[in-house]
Chains A and B, each alone.
Chain A
Amino acid sequence: MSAFPRAAELGLIGCHVCGLVISADMPDPDDAADELACPRCGSALHRRKPYSYMRTWALLIAAFLLYIPANVLPIMRTASLNDIDDNTIISGVVELWVKGSPDLAIIVFTASIVVPMLKFLSLGTLLLSSQRGSGWARPQRAKLYRLVEFIGYWSMLDVFVVALLTALVRFGLLSLVEPLPGVIFFGLTVVLTMLASMSFDPRLIWDGRDSDD
C-alpha cells in the first residue's frame, strides 16, 4: 500500500452525492447484479463514475464537432437601414477590441475561445494519460481538472450577450439584432463540455499508481 491509503484498497466507497463513507466488502460492486445504494441518500454507489472514459470521450468529441459550426457560422446579425452585418464569435471580439474596449475583448475571447479550447485539450490529455495509467505530473493534472470544472460554465457568456442584444436592439427598420445558428451550436457546445468534465472521474488520474511509485 502506498503512503496514502485509498478507499478502493480498504474496501470503502464514498457516495458521489452526499459524501457518506460506506464499507463495501464486495470485490467490485460495479459488477454486482444489484446495484449498491447509499443508505443515507439512496444514490447508486460506484467506486468510479460508471463508463467514465467512454462517456467523457463521446461527450467531448460531440462538443468538439459542434464547436466547429459555432465558430464558423455567424452567431448574430445586426441590421440597420443601409447595412446588414453578420458577426461570428471572433468578429465580435475584434469589434470590441477595435472600438475601444480591449479589456472586455480579452474577457470575451477568454470565455468563448480560450476556455473551450482549454477544455478540449485538458480533458483530451487527462483521458489519454489516465487511460495509459501514466504517473506523469499527477498533482498538476488533478489541478488542471479542477480548473476545467471551475471555469467551464463561464463560456456561456457570449450566448447571453447575443440574447440580451437581441432583446434590446428592437428598433424596427432602423436597427435590429437577430440571433443566427452559430449561437445555438455554441450554447450546445458549452453544455456538452460541462457534461464531459462532469462524467470524467478525477480518481482515474491516480489509478494504476502501484506500477510506477
Chain B
Amino acid sequence: MGTTPPEALLICEHCDTVYRRQPLAHGDVARCACCYAVLERHHGLSVNVMLALVLTAMIVFVQANMWPIVTLGLNGQLSGATLWGTIIVMWQQQAQVVAVLAAGTLFFFPLLKMSLLGWLLWFGRLGRRAPGFVPMMVTLHYLQPWTMSEVFVLGALVAIVKAHLYFDVMADPGIYAYAVLTLLITVFAGVDLRQLWELTPEDRA
C-alpha cells in the first residue's frame, strides 16, 4: 500500500475502510465491502445533460414560486397561496421561526444550489474551473441536506386533502411546476457532485 499514491485511493466515509479506486462502467455503483455504503456512483449524465437539467429546474422553480399553488373557495369567496405568500403569512402570525425555515429550505437554499451548479457546470462544459470554484463546491457540500422542495410537495398534497373537507379546492399551476421540480430533483439525487473536482483540472498558480 505504501507505494500507492493517495489520489488513487478512496476512503469509505461511513467506516474508514481504504480502497483502491476502480474505474466504473456506465451505471455502476461501488459499494463498501465492510459497511455496504455507496462509495462511488457512475451515472450516465454528461455535463451537458446535467447543465440542461439544472437550467430546466431553474425555469420550473421560478414558475413554482410565481404561480399560486392551490386556491380555496368558500361561498364564492376565493383564497389562493403562493410560496412567498405562505412565508409572509407565517411571519405575520407570530411563527417567524417557521417563516425563516420555509424561506431557507424552500427558496434561498434551492435557488443558491441551482445557481452554483449552473455556474460550475457552465464552465465545466468548457473544460474549465469556474471562478470561485473551491468556495462554491464547499458551499454546495453544506447546502446539500437543507433543500426540502420535495417535502413541500407532499405537504401541499396533505393540505389539499385536509382543506377538501371544508372547502372547494382548485389545484393551481404552481403545484404542477412543483411536481416537475420534484421529478428533476429525483433525477439529480443520484449525481455525486464530488466528481466535479476531478472533472476539471486544477489551475496551478
- Other-chain contact of B33, A4, A170, A174, A175 (Cβ < 8 Å): A4
Q: Number of contacting residues on B, CB 8 A?
A: 64
Q: Is the CB of B163 within 8 A of A168?
A: yes
Q: Is the CB of A179 within 8 A of B93?
A: yes
- Other-chain contact of B156, A16, A164, A179 (Cβ < 8 Å): A164
Q: Is the CB of A4 within 8 A of B9?
A: no
Q: Can you list, as one digit per residue, whether each of A90-111 has a CB less than 8 Å from chain B (1) or not (0)?
A: 0010011001010010011001
A51 at the interface (CB under 8 A from B): no
Q: Number of contacting residues on A, CB 8 A?
A: 70
- Other-chain contact of A175, B74, B90, B145, B197 (Cβ < 8 Å): B74
- A 13-48 contacts with B by CB, 8 A: 13-14, 16-23, 40-43
Which applies to chain A's interface (DSSP): helix, strand, loop or mixed? helix
A145 at the interface (CB under 8 A from B): yes
Q: Is the CB of A178 within 8 A of B156?
A: no
B57 to chain A, nearest CB (A): 19
Contacts of B13 in A (CB 8 A): 14, 16, 19, 202-203
What are 6 contact pairs spanning A and B, CB under 8 A?
A4-B18, A12-B9, A20-B6, A156-B101, A179-B95, A187-B98
A-to-B contact residues, CB < 8 Å:
4-8, 10, 12-14, 16-23, 40-43, 92, 95-96, 99, 101, 104, 107-108, 111, 138-139, 142-143, 145-146, 152-154, 156-171, 174-175, 178-179, 183-184, 187-188, 191, 194, 198, 202-203, 205-206
